[in-house]
């Protein structure tokens, strides 16, 4: 039996993080499938034409999707990404501290006074955080590369966005100051909502304008256009969407330990689940009614920003509910949790596989003369694609494979591109005179000796055999 991301004693599983990732990918499939509908020859344009093309079942499914999936899946995605980054940083720093302190010769540290010991601890801590930040940033650059390749086929790629977040905010993710993460998240959230309000104020109350893709015709220049759109959309998503605030929430969830081991927190999680999903649904109602033209619920200038903001609450509700479903550590998982966990352990591979399967399925349908596909039918196809990928992940799990090809490739590339990080210098002695506050002590120092078995890149490199709990997406 293979252990999951969070492991206590041997064969004791902490399934909640991977269960959450597995279910999240079902929401992502439902949220992404409308993108592919626009390639059918008779796909309607946004606005009244899109609404007229929807039957009653399509409209009711669109309502459900708006309340619980759209702009709720990506915040959940972002929270789980931030969670994974925080866990990876925590474990990296823990390993760096331990190895660095073990590398100090006992005969050198025996004569240190309290001030010297404090200086060494600060130096080791700074180096550990720097190592964690470098690891996060290096993963971010490689995720950008993965996203660029994925954008050839799918301009809505989100891997690159998370990679850019990792590159820009690596130091914020690893630092202990929670107030700075709150400040960064609040600033980006304000900027995002201001941009959303400015954009939506122009549209007024026209139905099916937002959250609907205009038709696109495939030609030889599509890959170039797709990549160009991705290059523009990726930094704009970081600045004008709620990705960064949700990543910071995910970091806070990891520091709190709510998702790693939810035991004893059932009432709290149930309250967050019910309250979050309810707020998320209620916040989406005015926008859904406007989109479907079912009632006069005002203009998009206020309903669309509310739709986005309430999506964060909805994502928190999903996360709490999935923590309850995943439960605490145990040796054996039930069938549902095992299925979701198998997908969650291979989240990047599953995400990329969705694109390939959508291309194949919709390509086959087009070859057989299908000219348009309903919203509800496409939702069923999206769930079918997710389930098919899930069965593939279960087969890989049974076969003893703990990672998917994308996870393996990312891990290998990150490890191979690691660079040496100098060990901190250690004090040999201080002047006998008392030292006042704020006075620098230039005394002699000694570089820490190399760590046995650390390899050419020192103790900061990613060891292929070490436990890496982070999931890339």
Partnered with residue 445 across adjacent β-strands are: 427
* Parallel/antiparallel/unpaired status of strands 13-14 and 6-7: antiparallel
Residue 152, class by beta-carbon neighbours within 10 Å (0-12 exposed, 13-18 middle, 19+ buried)? middle
pTM > 0.95? no
Predicted local confidence at residue 59, as pLDDT? 96
| Cα 451 from Cα 173, distance rounded (Å) | 27
Q: CA–CA distance from 252 to each of 83, 178, 264, 315 (Å)?
A: 8, 8, 19, 14
Dihedral sign from CA coordinates of 234, 238, 241, 245 = positive
Determine the 3-state secondary structure of 274 from DSSP: helix
Residue 185, class by beta-carbon neighbours within 10 Å (0-12 exposed, 13-18 middle, 19+ buried)? buried
pLDDT digits (tens, 9 = 90+) for 78-88: 999 999 999 99
Predicted local confidence at residue 427, as pLDDT? 59
End-to-end CA distance of the chain: 24
pLDDT digits (tens, 9 = 90+) for 20-79: 999 999 999 999 999 999 999 999 999 999 999 999 999 999 999 999 999 999 999 999
Predicted local confidence at residue 240, as pLDDT? 84
CB 352, CB 154: distance < 8 Å: no
Q: Which of the 8 DSSP states describes residue 257?
A: T
Q: Tell me whether residue 218 is in a domain.
A: yes
| Cα 178 from Cα 185, distance rounded (Å) | 11
Q: How many residues does the chain have?
A: 473
CA angle, residues 5, 11, 17, in degrees to nearest 5? 25
Q: Which of the 8 DSSP states describes residue 271?
A: H
Predicted local confidence at residue 12, as pLDDT? 55
Predicted local confidence at residue 447, as pLDDT? 45
Q: Tell me whether residue 427 is in a domain.
A: no
Q: Tell me whether residue 446 is in a domain.
A: no
Q: Which of the 8 DSSP states describes residue 425?
A: E
Partnered with residue 427 across adjacent β-strands are: 445
Partnered with residue 446 across adjacent β-strands are: 426
Residue the block writes with tokens 């990549």: 227
159: containing domain: 6-419
**Residue 34's Cα: distance from chain center in Å?**
21
Q: If you write DSSP's letter for every residue of 23-78 in order, what string do you get?
A: HHHHHHHHHHHHHHHTTSTTPPPTTHHHHHT--HHHHHHHHHHHHHTTTTHHHHHH
Q: What is the number of structural domains in the chain?
A: 1
* Beta-carbon contacts of residue 246 (< 8 Å; ≥ 6 apart): 74, 75, 76, 78, 79, 82, 312, 315
Structure tokens at 172: 């914020």
Region at 286 (left for phi over 0; alpha for psi -120 to 50; beta for the rest): alpha
| Cα 327 from Cα 320, distance rounded (Å) | 11
Closest CA relative to residue 205, chosen from 311, 45, 47, 68: 47
Q: Which of the 8 DSSP states describes residue 313?
A: H
Closest CA relative to residue 123, chosen from 111, 133, 131: 131
CB 125, CB 101: distance < 8 Å: no
Q: Tell me whether residue 373 is in a domain.
A: yes
Predicted local confidence at residue 270, as pLDDT? 96
Q: Tell me whether residue 470 is in a domain.
A: no
* Torsions phi, psi for 6 (to 5 deg): -115, 115
CB 311, CB 301: distance < 8 Å: no
Q: Tell me whether residue 300 is in a domain.
A: yes
Q: Tell me whether residue 210 is in a domain.
A: yes
**Positions in the chain whose pLDDT score sits under 50:** 1-11, 429-473
Q: Tell me whether residue 445 is in a domain.
A: no
Structure tokens at 149: 């390749």
């Amino acid at each position: 039996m293979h252990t999951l991301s969070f492991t206590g004693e041997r064969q004791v599983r902490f399934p909640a993080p991977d269960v959450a990732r597995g279910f999240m990918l079902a929401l992502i499939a439902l949220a992404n499938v409308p993108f592919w509908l626009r390639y059918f020859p008779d796909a309607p344009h946004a606005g009244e034409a899109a609404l007229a093309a929807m039957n009653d079942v399509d409209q009711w499914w669109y309502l459900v999707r708006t309340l619980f999936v759209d702009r709720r899946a990506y915040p959940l995605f972002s929270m789980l990404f931030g969670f994974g980054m925080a866990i990876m940083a925590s474990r990296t720093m823990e390993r760096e501290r331990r190895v660095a302190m073990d590398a100090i010769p006992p005969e050198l540290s025996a004569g240190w006074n309290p001030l010297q010991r404090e200086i060494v601890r600060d130096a080791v801590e700074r180096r550990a955080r720097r190592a964690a930040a470098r690891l996060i940033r290096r993963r971010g650059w490689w995720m950008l590369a993965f996203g660029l390749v994925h954008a050839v086929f799918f301009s809505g790629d989100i891997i690159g966005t998370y990679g850019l977040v990792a590159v820009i905010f690596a130091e914020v993710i690893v630092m202990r100051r929670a107030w700075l993460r709150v400040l960064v998240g609040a600033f980006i959230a304000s900027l995002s909502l201001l941009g959303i309000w400015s954009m939506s104020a122009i549209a007024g109350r026209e139905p099916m304008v937002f959250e609907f893709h205009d038709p696109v015709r495939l030609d030889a220049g599509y890959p170039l256009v797709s990549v160009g759109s991705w290059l523009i959309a990726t930094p704009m998503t970081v600045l004008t969407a709620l990705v960064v605030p949700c990543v910071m929430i995910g970091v806070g969830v990891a520091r709190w330990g709510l998702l790693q081991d939810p035991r004893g927190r059932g009432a709290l999680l149930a309250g967050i689940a019910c309250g979050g999903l309810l707020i998320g649904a209620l916040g989406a109602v005015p926008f859904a009614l406007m989109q479907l033209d079912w009632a006069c619920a005002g203009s998009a200038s206020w309903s669309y920003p509310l739709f986005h903001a309430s999506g964060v609450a909805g994502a928190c509700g999903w996360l709490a509910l999935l923590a309850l479903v995943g439960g605490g550590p145990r040796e054996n998982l039930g069938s549902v949790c095992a299925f979701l966990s198998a997908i969650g352990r291979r989240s990047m591979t599953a995400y990329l596989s969705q694109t390939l399967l959508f291309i194949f399925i919709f390509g086959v349908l087009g070859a057989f003369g299908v000219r348009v596909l309903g919203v509800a039918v496409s939702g069923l196809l999206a769930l079918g694609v997710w389930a098919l990928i899930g069965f593939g992940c279960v087969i890989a799990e049974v076969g003893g494979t703990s990672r998917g090809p994308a996870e393996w490739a990312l891990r290998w590339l990150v490890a191979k591109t690691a660079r040496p990080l100098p060990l901190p210098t250690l004090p040999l002695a201080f002047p006998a005179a008392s030292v006042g506050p704020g006075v620098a002590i230039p005394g002699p120092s000694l570089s820490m000796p190399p760590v046995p078995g650390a390899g050419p890149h020192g103790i900061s490199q990613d060891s292929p055999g070490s436990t890496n709990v982070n999931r890339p997406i």
